[in-house]
Amino acid sequence: MTHPLFRDEPYLRDAAATVAAHTPEGGVVLDQSLFYPTGGGQPGDSGQITWGDQSLTVATTIKGEGAQIVLLPAEPAPLPPVGAPVVQVLDWERRHRHMRVHTALHLLSVAIPLPVTGGSIGVEKGRLDFDMPEALADKEALDAVLNGYITQDLPVTEGWITDAELAANPSLVKTMSVQPPKGQGRVRLIGIGAAAAQIDLQPCGGTHVARTGEIGPVRIGKVQNKGAQNRRVYLHLDQ
């Protein structure tokens, strides 16, 4: 298995590791990974690994067999040998923007308290799809609510809940199309706000900023009708 360093230390930009395996497709599996694998609407991380005087550009990262995380090269290239020590260097600017967008989308799910039917995260923007029968009435008012949460600089926290506790609290799951991974005994929870001031708590495996103030200003973009009751709401970073 690959230890998920990105979960322990989401602000870590480089770290040592050892090559655990190669995949038939030419990917590299490390014993511990800074690189987040594609999942939950968040793209896989990119960057570079180096060993000796050689380097490999990592185009993206995906989940492999079992608990493996696979780093995929940008193009076919010599791979570091199994057992070799390497240094991972994250494309930090790209990852940090994903963290900002991802956390902002959690806030969007608070500002629009409706079931979420899908979503995706990018560098400049993200979107959530809502089970929303009526059209969004006032984008400017929604902008004000979101930026209000951001300027409050609320803490973003991590916790865990057992599978049984989650089953007893189904309202924690906002997404209709994707259920949190179960069967490992516990599920990760991301909270926004502290104690009685907490405004959100939901299962999530992605990477997030430490406080909402780090997101920076946002604005609502297009709102698209994607079916009888499904509306797609885009959120943009403004800097």
Query: For residue 81, how many other CB atoms are within 10 A of its CB?
Result: 10
**Domains along the chain?**
3-90 (2.40.30.130), 95-237 (3.30.980.10)
* Whether this model's pTM surpasses 0.75: yes
Pairing relation of β-strands 230-237 and 47-51? unpaired
Round to whole Å and give the CA distance between 219 and 141: 10
Please write the tens of the pLDDT for every residue from 118-157: 999 999 999 999 999 888 889 999 999 999 999 999 999 9
In this prediction, the residues of the chain whose per-residue pLDDT falls under 50 are none
